[in-house]
């Protein structure tokens, strides 16, 4: 039950962050969405043994963190949590990959390379998604989705889902709490009441949706959903998108950290 | 079971996004045509419910541990396949954004695995098939249970295919498949029974809910056709990409071959030699950057076996410097902002 | 102004399970009146409200707003003129910000965005929650949510306000605020509630429903001091009128 409350807290805190004012927050949501997608595509396009070539991409999340003044630790925790599936699958890579390489005199399995590569990619991609929502918020993201011609019904339904998660969390926690007060020592809902516990909640949910529907049609809803006016994309937004895209793509073609390394070593020499 | 972006390639991600987008558009059309706007708040509120329900601990008798449900089958049975699919789409979208649970690029894959497999394959082929002989308590239980179980298995299978085609994991197809299918068999059993007990309860309390969801979805030609087309697309995709994959990244196959024929040690030595060569050539031809960089790029890209530049010394130095630089810039900006505010 | 008159003629309605919820109810509410509809739980109040709004349709009898019958065809127009505030604000605040909720109605009637904005601002001002316009509904207190739902209905500029238990679950200060709001509105008001003290304060006329029928229809003073009548309908006289030291009425 604690995890339910925690999730609520997490979502609310991200929602709150999205409402702040900053350079990044004021950018047009469509631009942020597109930049995120290009970033994700570039990160993911690197081969499995690439690590160095990826590293310059860390500029993107770091810059957003600073310019948007987002708290680093809580978001980092989220990213780490999101990595758990990846870690689960790839932790055995060093065992599976029989090839070894020598790194600075130590012989290690090549599997560590692939593991590290995926770990870094996972971190960067998770960061990009979470930073997107932390600087945009679901409302403005919905505007961006509409601009991409995503059907209105779907966007409305997405917003409704988001809106009612809080309500559901409260309802479910109430029932879970009431249950646990009468079921001491149990770890979860026991088998004999699986059906009725969740079933009751579902029936109540159906009833609620009925009332929501009524309140919607009583205010004129006929199946179409109108968002408000859509803000225009201006030069600043364009520059943001173009600038980052250029950086990502150049970094994809040329290995920038390598470049820096060579430069430095050359200079030292 | 949510797939992260790092596990798929852009091609796989893109294809799945397009596929599921098509299914979504079709589902929306269906809902509009059937004048089912009543379903919109239902999808929203039920979506929120399943989102939260995924966190409920259902304690598994006899093991002392608990399980969780995914909810795909539940949604299909209660809302019908089209609304169920769209609801799953919203849930996954919010999870991807707010929790990083499943990536945005992998969104199409996840929607396919958790939404399409349940709503458009398991639901019509298994649930409806068992039910069409008449709806009564035992049959509903069996139908819900098996469709949930098999739907999950199919989803797990898709994960394996998608990961494998993307070529991002070192696991062999066989190992990964075995791992995923068996884990999800256990999960599927729990989900199957939970779904079945819930549906049976609802059916006893308010049967019209389940009956309404099923109206209009005749198990007939239209459905089978859609499913077959979906499978056909999947087959073409698999076939086309497998051949592309095989030519570009022979690692997986080669690794298995290498392991069997004992040639790995030899290969490792070659690699070390190559690394030393590379370092030498790179530090010697210092002024001629453009030439070197292109070389490095093509080497990393096409040749096999090649050592990615990230493992050579320059790469490591450069990498460390890049990270330091980035962090430094980040801190400077923060410091600057704090000063000004 | 007869076109604001709400007329109910011989309404009859039964639920699918056979329960006769509304039996032959008739009354007329004139422009500007504030009417309280009271009755025990299950007496048929909510069903009556649904019939007024055209959410369900009677088996016989009719509802007229002005000279317009409430039928499926006339619903869009009727719903613009009758605004209903639900009992549970969470059912009515379904958008992600207060502004969007209040704007939902006007936007559905295809008004242009400037007009929508001015209506929303007006509604929020009337209710006194302009500062909450960008707030998410889960961040609102009970009283604020209630105010927001009222605003979301006011933005459609209805002629008649129908409110189902407006003061339920509110703390005393919020309740007082809502009462003040209701008293300030010039719309025709129809209020159902168990909070008889609030009804006494805000409504001049009372209709008592008992088992699906109109048991009484008169002024607030007449009805809410009639101990026997209210007792018969499974109600009590308002707390503020009980234990009257002078006439000894309503000794609890």
State residue A238 phi and psi, 5-degree precision.
-60, -45
Domain co-membership, B296 together with B170: no
Domain co-membership, B268 together with B246: no
Q: Which residues of C touch A164 (CB under 8 A)?
A: 94
Nearest to A163 among C76, C103, C137 (CB): C137
The reply to whether residue C53 touches residue A218, judged by beta carbons under 8 angstroms, is yes
What is the rounded distance in angstroms from the CA atom of residue A83 to the CA atom of residue A123?
7
Nearest to C113 among A160, A215, A228 (CB): A228
Task: Please indicate, yes or no, if residue C187 is contained in any of the structural domains.
Answer: yes
Q: Which residue of C has its CA nearest to A220?
A: C108
What residue numbers bound the domain in which B243 lies?
5-251
Tokens 């997986």 belong to B252
Note the pLDDT of residue B38.
Answer: 78
Three-class DSSP category at A88: helix
Q: From the CA of B158, how many Å to the nearest CA of chain A? A: 15
Q: Which residue of B has its CA nearest to A111?
A: B170
CATH number at C222 reads: 3.40.50.300
Nearest to A220 among C100, C108, C113 (CB): C108
The reply to whether residue C90 touches residue A167, judged by beta carbons under 8 angstroms, is yes
Pairing of β C160-164 and β C82-85: parallel
Domain co-membership, B42 together with B160: yes
Domain co-membership, B97 together with B191: yes
Domain co-membership, B84 together with B224: yes
Please name which of A170, A156, C62, C69 lies closest in space to residue B39, comparing C-alpha atoms: A156
Mean pLDDT in residue range B183-192: 87
Cis ω for the linkage preceding B305 (within 30 of 0): yes
ipTM over 0.90: no
The tokens of B203 are what? 């059916």
Q: From the CA of A231, how many Å to the nearest CA of chain B? A: 22
Q: Which residue of C has its CA nearest to A215?
A: C92
Task: Please indicate, yes or no, if residue B257 is contained in any of the structural domains.
Answer: no
Q: Which residues of C touch A160 (CB under 8 A)?
A: 94
Sorting pLDDT into bands at 50, 70 and 90, what band is C18? confident
Q: From the CA of B232, how many Å to the nearest CA of chain A? A: 26
Mean pLDDT in residue range B288-296: 32
Q: Which residues of B touch A146 (CB under 8 A)?
A: none
Using the predicted structure, report yes or no on whether residue B300 has a pLDDT greater than 60: no
Note the pLDDT of residue C201.
Answer: 92
The reply to whether residue A259 touches residue B293, judged by beta carbons under 8 angstroms, is yes
Note the pLDDT of residue A107.
Answer: 74
Nearest to B197 among A161, A194, A269 (CB): A194
C40 Cβ contact partners less than 8 Å away, ≥ 6 residues apart: C210, C233, C234, C235
The tokens of B31 are what? 């809902």
pLDDT 10s digits, C30-64: 999 999 999 988 888 989 998 998 888 999 999 99
Q: Which residue of A has its CA nearest to C139?
A: A12
What is the enclosing helix (H) or strand (E) of A67? Answer: helix A59-67
Q: How many CA atoms lie within 13 A of A182 on its CB side?
A: 8
Lowest mean pLDDT among A140-144, B62-66, B176-180, B317-321: B317-321
Q: Which residues of A touch C107 (CB under 8 A)?
A: 226, 228
Q: Which domain-ending residue is among B192, B227, B251?
A: B251
Task: Please indicate, yes or no, if residue C99 is contained in any of the structural domains.
Answer: no
Query: How many residues can be counted in chain C?
Result: 252
Nearest to A194 among B25, B101, B194 (CB): B194
Task: Please indicate, yes or no, if residue B258 is contained in any of the structural domains.
Answer: no
Per-residue buried b or exposed e for A193-226, using 16+ beta carbons within 10 Å of the residue's own CB: bbbbbbbbbbbebbebbebbbbbbbbbbbebebb
- Neighbour count for residue B242 (Cβ, 10 Å): 13
The reply to whether residue A229 touches residue C104, judged by beta carbons under 8 angstroms, is no
Mean pLDDT in residue range B139-150: 88
Q: Which residue of C has its CA nearest to A139?
A: C96
Task: Please indicate, yes or no, if residue C43 is contained in any of the structural domains.
Answer: yes
pLDDT 10s digits, A182-202: 877 777 777 778 888 888 888
Task: Please indicate, yes or no, if residue B211 is contained in any of the structural domains.
Answer: yes
Percent of chain C with pLDDT over 70: 97
Note the pLDDT of residue C145.
Answer: 92
Q: Please return the burial class of B328, using the count of CB atoms within 10 Å of its CB with bins 0-12, 13-18 and 19+.
A: exposed
CB pairs under 8 A between A and C: 72
Interface of A with C in 50-89 (CB under 8 A): none
Q: From the CA of A15, how many Å to the nearest CA of chain C? A: 9
The reply to whether residue A220 touches residue C80, judged by beta carbons under 8 angstroms, is yes
- The separation between the first and the last C-alpha atoms of chain C, rounded to the nearest angstrom, is 43
CA dihedral B10, B14, B20, B26 (to 10 degrees): 170
What's C171's DSSP letter?
-
- Neighbour count for residue A58 (Cβ, 10 Å): 21
Using the predicted structure, report yes or no on whether residue B307 has a pLDDT greater than 60: no
The reply to whether residue A226 touches residue C138, judged by beta carbons under 8 angstroms, is no
The tokens of A248 are what? 């990502």
The tokens of B186 are what? 């256990």
Lowest mean pLDDT among B119-123, B245-249, C36-40: B245-249
Cα distances (angstroms) measured from residue B172 to each of A8, A89, C166: 39, 12, 64
Domain co-membership, B243 together with B267: no
CATH number at B34 reads: 1.10.1760.20
Mean pLDDT in residue range A107-130: 83
pLDDT 10s digits, A67-83: 888 888 888 888 888 78
Of the residues A136, A163, A231, the best mutation for testing chain C's interface (the one with the most C CB atoms within 10 Å of its CB) is: A163
Using the predicted structure, report yes or no on whether residue B260 has a pLDDT greater than 60: no
Using the predicted structure, report yes or no on whether residue B316 has a pLDDT greater than 70: no
Report the range out of A216-220, B58-62, C242-246 with the highest average pLDDT. Answer: A216-220
Note the pLDDT of residue C208.
Answer: 93
Q: Which residue of A has its CA nearest to C91?
A: A212
- Higher pLDDT: A99 or C148? It is C148
Number of domains chain C is built from: 1
Domain co-membership, B134 together with B237: yes
pLDDT 10s digits, C220-249: 988 988 888 888 888 888 888 887 777 766
Q: Which residues of A touch C53 (CB under 8 A)?
A: 218
Lowest mean pLDDT among B291-295, B331-335, C169-173: B291-295
State residue A97 phi and psi, 5-degree precision.
-90, 110
Domain co-membership, B160 together with B277: no
Task: Please indicate, yes or no, if residue C201 is contained in any of the structural domains.
Answer: yes
What would the 3-class secondary structure string for chain B be?
CCCCHHHCCHHHHHHHHHHHHHHHHHHHHHHHHCCCCCHHHHHHHHHHHHHHHCCCCEECCCCCCEECCCCHHHHHHHHCHHHHHHHHHHHHHHHHHHHCCCCCCCHHHHHHHHHHHHHHHHHHHHHHHHHCCCCCHHHHHHHHHHHHHHHHHHHHHHHHHHHHHHCCCCCCHHHHHHHHHHHHHHHHHHHHHHHHHHHHHHHHHCHHHHHHHHCCCCCCHHHHHHHHHHHHHHHHHHHHHHHHHHHHCCHHHHHHHHHHHCCHHHHHHHHHHHHHHHHHHHHHCCCCHHHHHHHHHHHHHHCCCCCCHHHCHHHHHHHHHHHHHHHHHHHHHHHHHHHHC
Q: Which residues of B touch A162 (CB under 8 A)?
A: 48, 90, 94
Task: Please indicate, yes or no, if residue C8 is contained in any of the structural domains.
Answer: yes
Domain co-membership, B32 together with B121: yes
Note the pLDDT of residue B91.
Answer: 93
Percent of chain A with pLDDT over 90: 4
Nearest to C76 among A163, A220, A224 (CB): A220
Number of domains chain B is built from: 2
What is the rounded distance in angstroms from the CA atom of residue A62 to the CA atom of residue B57?
37
Sorting pLDDT into bands at 50, 70 and 90, what band is B317? low
The reply to whether residue B313 touches residue A261, judged by beta carbons under 8 angstroms, is yes
Long-range own/partner contacts, residues A232-238 (CB < 8 A, 24 or more apart): A232/A28, A233/A28, A233/A30, A233/A31, A234/A28, A236/A27, A237/A27, A237/A28, A237/A30, A237/A31, A238/A31
Q: Which domain-ending residue is among B218, B251, B284?
A: B251
Task: Please indicate, yes or no, if residue C132 is contained in any of the structural domains.
Answer: no
Task: Please indicate, yes or no, if residue B90 is contained in any of the structural domains.
Answer: yes
Please name which of C82, C83, C52, C45 lies closest in space to residue C70, comparing C-alpha atoms: C52
Q: Which domain-ending residue is among B201, B223, B251?
A: B251
What residue numbers bound the domain in which C64 lies?
2-87+159-241
Task: Please indicate, yes or no, if residue C63 is contained in any of the structural domains.
Answer: yes
Mean pLDDT in residue range C145-173: 92
Q: Is A216 on the interface with C (CB under 8 A)?
A: yes
Q: How many CA atoms lie within 13 A of C36 on its CB side?
A: 27
Sorting pLDDT into bands at 50, 70 and 90, what band is B257? very low
Mean pLDDT in residue range A149-178: 87
Average pLDDT value for chain B: 72
Chains that touch C (3 or more CB pairs under 8 A): A
What's C119's DSSP letter?
H
Using the predicted structure, report yes or no on whether residue C1 has a pLDDT greater than 50: no
Task: Please indicate, yes or no, if residue B19 is contained in any of the structural domains.
Answer: yes
Cα distances (angstroms) measured from residue A79 to each of A69, A129, A204, B43, B96: 17, 10, 34, 29, 11
Task: Please indicate, yes or no, if residue B242 is contained in any of the structural domains.
Answer: yes
The tokens of B41 are what? 């708040």
Of the residues B308, B325, B331, the best mutation for testing chain A's interface (the one with the most A CB atoms within 10 Å of its CB) is: B308
Task: Please indicate, yes or no, if residue C150 is contained in any of the structural domains.
Answer: no
Q: Is A7 on the interface with B (CB under 8 A)?
A: yes
What would the 3-class secondary structure string for B15-69 be?
HHHHHHHHHHHHHHHHHHHCCCCCHHHHHHHHHHHHHHHCCCCEECCCCCCEECC
Sorting pLDDT into bands at 50, 70 and 90, what band is C84? very high
Domain co-membership, B279 together with B327: yes
The tokens of B44 are what? 């929203």
- The separation between the first and the last C-alpha atoms of chain B, rounded to the nearest angstrom, is 44
Domain co-membership, B184 together with B297: no
Domain co-membership, B82 together with B218: yes
Q: Which residues of B touch A3 (CB under 8 A)?
A: 55
The reply to whether residue C110 touches residue A15, judged by beta carbons under 8 angstroms, is no
Nearest to B315 among A52, A195, A213 (CB): A52
């Amino acid at each position: 039950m604690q995890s339910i409350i925690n999730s609520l807290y997490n979502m609310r805190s991200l929602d709150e962050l999205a409402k702040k004012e900053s350079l990044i927050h004021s950018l047009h949501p469509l631009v942020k969405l597109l930049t995120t997608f290009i970033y994700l595509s570039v990160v993911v396009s690197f081969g499995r043994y690439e690590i160095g070539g990826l590293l310059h991409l860390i500029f993107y999340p770091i810059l957003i963190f600073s310019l948007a003044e987002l708290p680093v630790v809580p978001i980092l925790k989220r990213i780490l949590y999101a990595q758990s599936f990846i870690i689960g699958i790839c932790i055995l890579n060093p065992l599976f990959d029989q090839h070894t390489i020598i790194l600075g005199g130590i012989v290690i399995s090549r599997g560590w390379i692939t593991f590290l590569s995926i770990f870094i990619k996972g971190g960067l991609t998770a960061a990009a998604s979470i930073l997107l929502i932390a600087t945009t918020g679901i409302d403005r993201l919905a505007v961006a989705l509409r601009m991409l011609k995503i059907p209105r019904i779907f966007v409305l339904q997405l917003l409704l889902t988001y809106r009612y998660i809080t309500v559901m969390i409260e309802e479910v926690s109430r029932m879970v709490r009431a249950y646990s007060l009468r079921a001491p020592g149990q770890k979860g809902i026991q088998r004999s009441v699986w059906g009725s516990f969740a079933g009751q909640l579902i029936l109540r949910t159906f009833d609620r949706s009925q009332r929501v529907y009524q309140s919607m049609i009583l205010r004129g809803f006929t199946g179409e959903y109108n968002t408000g006016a859509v803000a225009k994309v201006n030069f600043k937004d364009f520059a943001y998108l173009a600038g980052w895209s250029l950086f990502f793509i150049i970094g994809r073609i040329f290995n920038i950290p390598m470049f820096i390394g060579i430069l430095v070593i050359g200079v030292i020499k | 079971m949510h797939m992260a972006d790092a596990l798929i390639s852009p091609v796989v991600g893109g294809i799945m996004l397009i596929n599921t987008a098509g299914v979504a558009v079709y589902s929306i059309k269906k809902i509009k045509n059937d004048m089912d706007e009543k379903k919109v708040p239902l999808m929203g509120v039920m979506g929120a419910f399943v989102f939260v329900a995924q966190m409920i601990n259902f304690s598994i008798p006899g093991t002392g541990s608990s399980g969780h449900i995914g909810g795909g089958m539940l949604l299909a049975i209660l809302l019908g396949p089209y609304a169920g699919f769209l609801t799953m789409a919203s849930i996954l979208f919010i999870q991807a954004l707010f929790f990083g649970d499943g990536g945005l690029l992998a969104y199409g894959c996840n929607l396919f695995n958790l939404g399409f497999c349940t709503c458009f394959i398991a639901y019509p082929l298994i649930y409806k098939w068992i039910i069409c002989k008449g709806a009564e308590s035992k049959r509903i239980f069996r139908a819900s249970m098996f469709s949930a179980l098999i739907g999950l298995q199919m989803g797990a299978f898709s994960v394996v295919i998608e990961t494998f085609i993307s070529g991002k994991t070192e696991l062999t197809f066989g190992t990964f498949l075995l791992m995923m299918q068996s884990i999800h068999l256990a999960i599927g059993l729990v989900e199957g029974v939970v779904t079945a007990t819930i549906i049976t309860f609802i059916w006893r309390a308010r049967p019209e809910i389940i009956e309404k969801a099923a109206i209009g979805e005749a198990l007939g030609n239209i459905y089978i056709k859609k499913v077959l087309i979906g499978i056909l697309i999947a087959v073409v995709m698999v076939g086309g990409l497998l051949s592309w994959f095989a030519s570009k990244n022979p690692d997986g196959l080669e690794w298995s071959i290498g392991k069997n024929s004992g040639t790995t040690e030899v290969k490792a030595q070659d690699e070390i030699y190559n690394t030393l060569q590379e370092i030498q050539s790179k530090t010697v031809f210092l002024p001629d950057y453009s030439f070197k960089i292109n070389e490095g790029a093509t080497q990393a890209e096409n040749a096999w076996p090649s050592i990615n530049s990230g493992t050579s010394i320059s790469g490591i130095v450069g990498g460390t410097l890049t990270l330091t630089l980035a962090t430094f810039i980040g801190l400077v900006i923060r410091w600057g902002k704090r000063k000004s505010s | 102004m007869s076109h604001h008159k709400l007329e109910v003629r011989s309404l009859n309605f039964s639920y699918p399970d056979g329960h006769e919820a509304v039996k032959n109810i008739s009354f007329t509410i004139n422009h500007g009146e504030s009417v309280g509809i009271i009755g025990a739980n299950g007496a048929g109040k909510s069903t009556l409200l649904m019939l007024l709004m055209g959410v369900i349709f009677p088996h016989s009898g009719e509802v007229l707003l002005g000279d317009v019958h409430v039928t499926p065809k006339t619903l869009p127009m009727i719903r613009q003129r009758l605004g209903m505030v639900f009992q549970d604000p969470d059912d009515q605040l379904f958008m992600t910000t207060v502004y969007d909720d209040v704007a939902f109605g006007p936007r559905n009637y295809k008004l242009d965005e400037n007009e929508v904005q001015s209506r929303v601002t007006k509604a929020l001002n009337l209710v006194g929650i302009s500062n909450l316009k960008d707030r998410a509904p889960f961040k609102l207190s009970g009283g604020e949510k209630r105010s927001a739902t009222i605003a979301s209905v006011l933005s459609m500029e209805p002629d008649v306000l129908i409110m189902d238990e407006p003061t339920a679950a509110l703390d005393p200060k919020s309740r007082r605020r809502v009462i003040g709001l209701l008293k300030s509105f010039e719309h025709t008001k129809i209020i159902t509630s168990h909070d008889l003290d609030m009804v006494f304060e805000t409504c001049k006329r009372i209709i008592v429903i008992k088992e699906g029928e109109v048991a009484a229809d008169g002024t607030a003073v007449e009805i809410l001091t009639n101990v026997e009548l209210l007792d018969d309908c499974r109600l009590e006289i308002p707390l503020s009128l009980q234990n009257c030291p002078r006439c000894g009425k309503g000794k609890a």
